[in-house]
Structure 1
Amino acid sequence: MSPPLLKISHLEVRYGDLIGVADVSLEVPKGAVVALLGSNGAGKTTVLNAVAGIATASGGTVEFKGENIAGQPAYAIVRKGLALSPEGWRLFAQQSVENNLLLGATPLADRARIPRLLDRAYTVFPRLAERRLQRAGTMSGGERQMLAVARALMSEPELLLLDEPSLGLAPAIVDVMYDSFSALHKDGQTILLAEQSVDLALETADYAYVLQVGRTVLKGPAKEMLDNPDVQRIYLGVE
Structure 2
Amino acid sequence: MSDSHSRKRKRKNLNKEAKDLLSKDHVKGFSTTAILLSATIGFHGQFLLSTKTIATFKLPDYSFSKLKFQYLHKHNALVTSLVLSQSPSISLSATIGNPTMAFRMKAVYKTGRSFTNYDAGIHAANPNWKASIILANKCDLLKASYVHRFHQPKKISVGAEITKRFSTKEHTFTVTGSWKVDQMTTLTARVNNCGKLDTLLLHKIRHKFSLSISGEFDTKALEKVPRIGIHTLQ
| TM-score grouping bracket, smaller chain normalisation | under 0.3
* Higher Rg: 2
More helix by proportion, 1 or 2? 1
More strand by proportion, 1 or 2? 2
